[in-house]
A and B are shown apart, each in its own frame.
Chain A
Amino acid sequence: MGYTFQFGEVFRYWPLLVEGAINTLLFSAIAMAAGLAVGIGGAVCRNSSNRALRAVAGGYVEIVRNTPLLVQLFLFYFGLPATGLRLSATEAAILALIFNTGAYSTEIVRAGIENVHRSQVEAATSLGLSRTQAFLHVVLLQALERVYPALVSQFILMMLASSIVSAVGAEELTAYGNRIQSENFRSMEVYFVCGAVYLGLTYVMRFVLAFLARFLFPRRRALARA
């Protein structure tokens, strides 16, 4: 075991690592926002009185949750061009991440919506709110508030899983790691450092999302004080 670690060889490339980390966060932020939007839409469909909508949303969730992200990514990156829609690696990566996160968010948001008591909706409609208004102003926020911790865990898992998109050459942290590794041949050190950066990113995300919750859910703070 005559191996000496030389981390200096990796830190020389710090601008690339920083850029990679920023790209990873960027990919994750887009996938989070769009994925949550898809998730809310999906959850509404899952609870819809329209049978076809329910089936489509249910099928979407099951297909995504029972196939690997890597294969979904391949379908977007290699498969879509065959239908005439050519995507860059980054576009395919972001689409695949949104597609994936959307399904998981659908299930989480659905659980939240189902947990809001019926009487809330009844009270809202008796006040003259339309069903849409009742959903938007009464149900949705409470639902999101309840499942927020689950959403945060899911988003962090997604951020870590986004390392997979380096497989098609999308430029995020792991891809930069691969590039540095191919230049200095210090593969162990490079991936140790990348791993440490990801670990740091999980803490950053946890912190930012917890901070965000204070603004998104003022009611919860009021309840906690009461």
Chain B
Amino acid sequence: MRSFNPNDILFLAQAALWTIALSLIAFFGGGIVGAILALWRISTLRVLRMVASGYIQIIQGMPLLIQLFIWYFGLNLLGMDLPALMAAAIALTLYSSAFFAEIWRGSIEAIPKGQWESAASLGLSRFEMLGYVIIPQALRLALPPTVGFMVQIVKNTSLTSLVGFVELARAGQLVNNVTFQPLPVFACVAVIYFSTCFPLSILSRWLERRTHGHRQPVRSA
């Protein structure tokens, strides 16, 4: 047993890099899958709409932890190497994709119908309408909630510690196991998470204020 020292903080900081790496994987992976799903969700083909909405319902209706376990043990059965990292990356990507799909579908549907109609009256095809008229406007609306969801992604990576992947939360447990000083150790872990997430929260809020004009909150009695 030894006390919590600066070397441990260095170790936590290194583990935080894994948290950030996993978050980026989940963000880009989830973003790509989510974009496809969002397009499926508003597709003119009924089958695609149904597949996408079924997928989203299932993913959003199951805890991320259970999904992690399924991928972790599933990949193990298939005899894959690096199961913890793979399972974490796949589970986080799929989980994020369902939420991104819903966020982006919402922003696309928030664009007034008149925009579609005027684009159609100019003779644009459906893909041209989406690409040149609808999506550029929807991106503006989608930006604040997308950044906001990045906060959720960073926090969700902490669950990968439960399948044994060494990121920030797991590193905290490891340090706690040798120092037996849970309060300072986990407080330090929390501070690192906070300093990653808080700037994103602020950014998201700032973007939202910018998109929605200057709506001042009214303080009630």
Q: Which of A65, A67, A70, A78 contacts B182 (CB 8 A)?
A: A78
- Min Cβ gap A206→B in Å is 10
- Min Cβ gap A20→B in Å is 12
Write out the residue numbers on chain A whose beta carbons fall within 8 Å of the beta carbon of B197.
65-67
- Residue A19, interface by CB 8 Å: no
Write out the residue numbers on chain B whose beta carbons fall within 8 Å of the beta carbon of A52.
none
Cβ–Cβ contact A188 & B62, under 8 A = no
Within 8 A of B (CB), among A149-205: 160-164, 166-167, 174, 177, 187-188, 191-192, 194-195, 198-199, 202-203
Complex: chain A residue closest to B191, CB-CB: A67
Given A62-B198, A70-B158, A75-B186, answer yes or no on A199-B169 (Cβ-Cβ < 8 Å): no
A66 to B191, CA, bound (A): 9
Q: Which of B172, B198, B217 contacts A66 (CB 8 A)?
A: B198
Cβ–Cβ contact B73 & A66, under 8 A = no
Write out the residue numbers on chain B whose beta carbons fall within 8 Å of the beta carbon of A65.
151, 197, 201
A161 to B64, CA, bound (A): 8
- Residue B1, interface by CB 8 Å: no
A163 to B187, CA, bound (A): 22
Cβ–Cβ contact B151 & A70, under 8 A = no
Cβ–Cβ contact B62 & A82, under 8 A = no
Cβ–Cβ contact B221 & A134, under 8 A = yes
Complex: chain A residue closest to B67, CB-CB: A195
Write out the residue numbers on chain B whose beta carbons fall within 8 Å of the beta carbon of A34.
none
Cβ–Cβ contact A66 & B158, under 8 A = no
Cβ–Cβ contact B162 & A66, under 8 A = no
Given A66-B201, A67-B197, answer yes or no on A82-B182 (Cβ-Cβ < 8 Å): yes
A71 to B62, CA, bound (A): 21
Q: Which of A67, A160, A188, A198 contacts B77 (CB 8 A)?
A: A188
Cβ–Cβ contact B218 & A70, under 8 A = no
Residues of chain B touching chain A, judged by Cβ–Cβ distance below 8 Å, are 58, 61-67, 69-70, 73-74, 77-78, 151, 155-156, 158-159, 161-162, 169, 172-173, 176, 181-183, 186-187, 189-190, 193-194, 197-198, 201, 217-221
New A-B pairs, 19, CB < 8 Å, besides A74-B169, A202-B61: A62-B198, A66-B193, A68-B158, A69-B158, A70-B159, A74-B173, A74-B189, A75-B183, A75-B187, A78-B186, A79-B186, A83-B183, A113-B220, A160-B63, A163-B63, A164-B63, A187-B69, A194-B66, A195-B66
Residues of chain A touching chain B, judged by Cβ–Cβ distance below 8 Å, are 1, 3, 47, 62-63, 65-72, 74-75, 78-79, 81-83, 113-114, 116, 118, 121, 125, 131, 134-135, 139, 160-164, 166-167, 174, 177, 187-188, 191-192, 194-195, 198-199, 202-203
